[in-house]
């Protein structure tokens, strides 16, 4: 089944992916504008199911890499990511049949549509994180055996680094080093894949899920929570649940080694009165505790919403005094296997707890 | 004219290049052993004059990159540099006809012989710095219009980054970032060149000069200074002169951003009694002052020798209490043009003085 993604759909995907982005993946605004501009100029983009890919087709994911705090200051023209895709195509000596996102997150769900519109490519309705994660090994592609390299990292000055590693584990370290040198934000194409590898390893349907979530949120007549619940209920994710309501009383953020690290503290309101939620993040929300007890951790989704509007709030926009609702969504099966938890379970981020899936 | 470089010659080149290396380029010991081991296993290496290269031949320089302080701790097997040369050959889709050093310095003058011995290539009797310098734009190749990229940076884990930049100025910044991520020392092949470009831009004869200097030093019956004077007198460099004699009373070194920065203070002995020499360095010696007056600066050579043995002392081996003689050697014409001083004159390193060539 082929779907056309137009300017309005990008609005929905950007919003919905920010819910799935768990605070990270970059604020949605920039990626949305870049994608909408490209679609206005070149026409709508085909969103294709992984199952529509022939096994030997050649798929090159595209993404922005860097700290969200830098990303909102250093705006892209939309051409930078094309350089990394083209570099990889030249290296592999293949025509690219489709691009796709490597994660669901504000900027990286819509960025591939900008690339696709300009190059006349379809976007695969899938990604490798099913949410946003901070590092390049946090990919089902990596977990289930796809090589991350050759990978190309490019910047707005026409510089490109083509990285080849003996093991996927070195890719993040090297690409992040290059990204820092490129000014804290760069554009990456990694995990070049065959259609068969996409079908075997990607999390399917996440772009349509983002679009449906965004559409529901934008058109929800009253309670945003009900809209999100309704959409997630019929997805491969668990049904969204409200974990906490309160007022932000502390936010700490530091941009270090190309990431934004920190935490937010939320004092409970109404039924949560008297309790405090503490959320740690590294670009994305990693773990949520109520009074020092973990109630949700990676890989499950923890998303902070504006309590009035239902809008998801990215990590870099959390601010003192905001009234918020914290949402939890259980991730699909493919993201909760033992192999997957070895790569993105709570302990891999230094959280002193084991993964207990959210109910529903 | 073709010369064969054997195990003994490497001993001489390593020692002589450490004089030309002005304190940097890495200590000579490691590069010497790696080259000697390769020559013992594979036979002597041809040293060819730039004029023996056909105009359309393909030359790929090879070097170690990193802070000398790290380089003495993280020993190479000798295979790492081959990976970067091969990567560049693959990128350019050319057979490599020769390799060459990018600088005269302890490790980087002998390293290309290790690569050459293993691959059965000749080494060109020339380099792009005529001494050692800390950064990749410090090359006559850059000054006279050769593109530094594509450049390949490789490590001992089998990781490689292929860098392409719009301008040579970005190469150093990106390659240094990759080198830091690779553990502070990596292996680089950059400025891939035609034979014509080598003839037009390289500083000729520097490997034979290093060999002759080293040989004279090793076999000098009494005064090392006389031996160095005799060899430099008949070279395209100025005749070596003694700038100062004294005892080291302070050394400060910090390893930062992948470089070693610092200074050494020397209290005068004999005819220099009562005076103090202050030498600043960034990997290499940059400027020498006597009682706050500059007496020598980049690009001229400032080399610290052991006062008894005449052995050159690399930056990382300077130590309190050592009796030393400080040597100055004027660089060849090609290194002192206005274009050259724009790239490596004293002000480019933050020294508050203008270049005045050493006499002789």
* Alpha-carbon gap, residue B109 to B90, rounded angstroms: 24
Rounded average pLDDT over A108-133: 96
**What integer is the mean pLDDT of A140-147?**
97
CB–CB of B327/B305 below 8 Å? yes
Mean pLDDT of A23-38: 86
Same domain, B119 and B160: yes
Structural domain includes residue A241: yes
Does residue A226 lie within any of the structural domains?
A: no
- Asked if A59 and A128 sit in the same domain, the reply is yes
Q: Kindly state whether residues A194 and A242 are assigned to the same domain.
A: no
User: How far apart are alpha carbons A233 and A231 in whole angstroms?
Assistant: 5
Q: Report CA-CA distances (Å) from B311 to B28, B185, B231, B281, B314.
A: 11, 25, 16, 19, 10
User: Which residues in chain A have their CB less than 8 angstroms from residue B167's CB?
Assistant: 157
Which of B164, B172, B182 has the highest number of chain A CBs within 10 A, making it the mutation to test binding with A?
B164
State residue A52's pLDDT score. Answer: 96
Tell whether B91 is covered by a domain.
yes
B181/A161 Cβ within 8 A: no
Among the partner residues B166, B176, B181, nearest to A157 by beta-carbon distance: B166
In this structure, are residues B235 and B242 in contact, taking their beta carbons and an 8 Å threshold?
A: no
What's the pLDDT tens digit per position in A90-108? Answer: 999 999 999 999 999 878 9
pLDDT in the model for residue B152: 98
pLDDT at A11 over 70: yes
Bridge partners of B188, per DSSP, are B63, B153
A167 near A175, Cβ under 8 Å?
no
Tell me whether residue B337 is in a domain: yes
Do both B165 and B296 map to the same domain? no
What backbone phi and psi angles, to 5 degrees, belong to B138?
Answer: -80, 65
Q: Which residues contact A167 (CB under 8 A, 6 or more apart)?
A: B157
Given a cut of 90, whether residue A73 has pLDDT beyond it is: no
Secondary structure string (H, E, C) spanning chain A: CEEEECHHHHHHHHHHHHHHCCCCCCCHHHHHHHHHHHHHHHCCEEEECHHHCCCCCEECCCEEEECHHHHCCCCCCCCHHHHHHHHHHHHHCCCCCEECCCCCCHHHHHHHHHHHHHHCCCEECEECCCCCCCCCCCCHHHHCCCCCCCEEEECCCCCEEEEECCCCHHHHHHHHHHHHHCCCEEEEECCCEEHHHHHHHCEECHHHHHHHHHHHHHHCCCCHHHHHHHHHHCCCCCCCEEEEEEEEEEEEEEEECCEEEEEEEEEECHHHCCCEEEEEEECEEEEEEECCEEEEECCCEEEEEECCCCCECCHHHCCCCCEEEEEEECCCHHHCCHHHHHHHCHHHHCCCCCCCCCCC
Which structural domain range is residue A262 located in? 237-349
Q: Tokens standing for A4?
A: 């056309």
CA distance B48 to B99: 10
> Is any Cβ of chain A less than 8 angstroms from the Cβ of B83?
no
Residue where a domain terminates, one of B204, B219, B245: B204
- Return phi, psi of residue A160, to 5°: -140, 140
Q: Do residues B69 and B188 both lie within one domain?
A: yes
Per-residue pLDDT at A153: 97
**Residue A231 counted as domain residue:** no
Residue of B83, B167, B174, B179 to mutate when probing chain A, most A C-beta within 10 A: B174
Find how far residue A168's CA is from the centre of its chain.
19
Give the C-alpha separation, A294 to A285, whole Å: 13
In the 3-class helix/strand/coil scheme, how is B312-323 assigned residue by residue? ECCHHHCCCCCE
Tokens of B107: 């490790």
- Nearest to B266, CA basis, from B201, B327, B326: B326
- For residues B206 and B123, the answer to whether their CB atoms sit within 8 Å is no
CB contact under 8 A, B174 and A173: no
- Report the pLDDT value the prediction gives residue A302, as an integer from 0 to 100: 97
Q: State how far the Cα of A309 lies from the Cα of B329, in Å rounded to an integer.
A: 73
In CATH, what number is assigned to the domain containing residue A279? 2.40.390.10
Pairing of strands A123-124, A45-48: parallel
Pairing status of strand B2-5 against strand B293-297 = unpaired
Give residue A122's pLDDT band: very low, low, confident or very high (50, 70, 90): very high
Contact between residue B343 and residue B332 where contact means Cβ atoms under 8 Å apart: no
Which residues of chain B are within 8 Å of residue A160 when distances are taken between CB atoms? 163-164
CB neighbours of residue A271 within 10 Å? 10
Q: At what angle do helices B7-20 and B106-119 cross, to 10 degrees?
A: 150
Residue of B nearest to A92 (CA): B91
**Same structural domain, B185 and B70:** yes
Q: What is the largest CA-CA distance in chain A?
A: 61
A160 inside 8 A of chain B by CB = yes
Q: Is the pLDDT at A345 greater than 70, yes or no?
A: yes
- Measured CA to CA, the distance from residue B339 to residue B357 in angstroms comes to 15
Closest CA to B283 of B75, B22, B61, B107: B22
Six token digits for residue A68: 């969200």
Q: What is the pLDDT of residue A29?
A: 85
pLDDT (0 to 100) of residue B68: 66
Among candidates B255, B280, B290, B303, which has minimal Cα distance to B349? B280
How large is the average pLDDT for residues A12-25? 92
The reply to whether A209 falls in a domain is no
pLDDT in tens, A279-326: 999 989 999 999 999 999 999 999 999 999 888 998 888 999 999 999
Considering the domain architecture, whether residues B89 and B178 belong to the same structural domain is answered as yes
Contact of B182 with chain A, judged by CB distance below 8 Å, is answered with yes
Res B256: pLDDT: 84
B88 touching A, CB under 8 A? no
- Chain B CB contacts of A174 under 8 Å are 159, 161, 178, 181-182
Question: Is B147 near chain A, with CB under 8 Å?
Answer: no
Distance separating alpha carbons of residues A220 and B161, to the nearest angstrom: 48
B253: Cα separation from own chain's centroid: 19
Write out the H or E segment, with its range, that includes residue B306: strand B301-306
Query: What is the per-residue pLDDT for A1?
Result: 61
* Nearest residue on chain B to A173, alpha-carbon basis: B181
Distance CA B56, CA B256 (A): 40
Number of independent structural domains in chain A: 2
Which residue, of A160, A182, A204, is where some domain finishes? Answer: A204
Among residues A204, A225, A250, the one where a domain terminates is A204
Whether B133 is in a domain gets the answer yes
Q: Using CB atoms, pick whichever of B87, B163, B167 lies closest to residue A161.
A: B163
d(CA A168, CA B176): 22
Element (H, E) at B350: none
Query: Distance (Å, rounded) from C-alpha A240 to C-alpha B88?
Result: 51
pLDDT score at B223: 83
How many Cα atoms are found within 13 Å in the side-chain-facing hemisphere of A281? 33
Report ipTM (2 d.p.): 0.83
Residue B130 to chain A, least CA–CA distance (Å): 28
Q: Answer yes or no: is pLDDT of A257 > 90.
A: no
Q: Are residues B143 and B272 in the same domain?
A: no
In this structure, the answer to whether residues B40 and B186 fall within a common structural domain is: yes
Query: In CATH, what number is assigned to the domain containing residue A173?
Result: 3.40.1610.10
Q: Do B159 and A177 touch (CB under 8 A)?
A: no
Q: How far is A180 from chain B (nearest CA, A)?
A: 8
Examine residue B258 and state whether it is found in any structural domain, yes or no. Answer: yes
> Do residues A231 and A322 make contact, with C-beta atoms less than 8 angstroms apart?
no
Distance of CA B93 to the CA centre of its chain: 29
Give the closest of B157, B165, B174 to A170, CB-based. Answer: B157
Q: How confident is the model at residue A77 (pLDDT cuts 50, 70, 90)?
A: confident
What averages of pLDDT result for each successive group of 10 residues across chain B (360 residues)?
90 94 82 94 97 97 83 78 95 97 89 96 97 93 97 95 94 94 93 98 97 93 87 96 97 86 96 97 96 97 94 91 97 97 96 93
């Amino acid at each position: 089944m082929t779907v056309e993604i137009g300017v309005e759909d990008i609005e929905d995907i950007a919003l919905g992916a920010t819910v799935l982005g768990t605070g990270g993946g970059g604020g949605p605004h920039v990626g949305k504008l870049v994608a909408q501009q490209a679609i206005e100029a070149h026409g709508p983009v085909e969103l294709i199911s992984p199952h529509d890919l022939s096994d030997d087709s050649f798929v090159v994911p595209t993404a922005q890499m860097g700290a969200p705090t830098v990303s909102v200051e250093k705006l892209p023209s939309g051409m930078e990511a094309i350089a990394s895709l083209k570099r990889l195509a030249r290296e592999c000596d293949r025509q690219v049949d489709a691009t796709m996102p490597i994660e669901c997150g504000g900027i990286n769900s819509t960025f591939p549509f900008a690339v696709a519109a300009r190059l006349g490519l379809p976007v695969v309705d899938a990604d490798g994180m099913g949410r946003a994660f901070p590092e390049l090994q946090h990919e089902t592609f990596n977990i289930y055996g796809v090589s991350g390299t050759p990978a190309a990292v490019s910047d707005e000055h026409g510089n490109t680094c083509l990285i080849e590693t003996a093991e996927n584990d070195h890719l993040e370290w090297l690409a992040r080093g290059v990204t820092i040198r490129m000014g804290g934000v760069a554009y990456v194409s990694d995990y070049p894949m065959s259609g068969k590898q996409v079908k075997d390893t990607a999390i399917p349907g996440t772009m349509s899920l983002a679009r449906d979530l965004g559409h529901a949120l934008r058109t929800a007549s009253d309670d945003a929570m009900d809209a999100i619940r309704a959409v997630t209920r019929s997805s491969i994710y668990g049904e969204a649940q409200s974990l906490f309501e309160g007022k932000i009383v502390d936010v700490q953020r530091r941009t270090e080694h190309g990431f934004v690290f920190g935490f937010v503290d939320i004092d409970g309101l109404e039924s949560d009165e008297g309790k405090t939620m503490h959320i740690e993040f590294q670009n994305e929300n990693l773990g949520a505790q109520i009074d020092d007890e973990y109630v949700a951790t990676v890989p499950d989704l923890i998303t902070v919403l504006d309590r009035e509007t239902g809008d998801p709030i990215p990590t870099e926009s959390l601010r003192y005094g905001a009234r918020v609702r914290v949402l939890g969504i259980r991730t699909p099966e493919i993201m909760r296997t033992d192999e997957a938890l070895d790569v993105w379970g709570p302990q891999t981020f230094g959280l002193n707890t084991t993964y207990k899936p959210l109910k529903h």
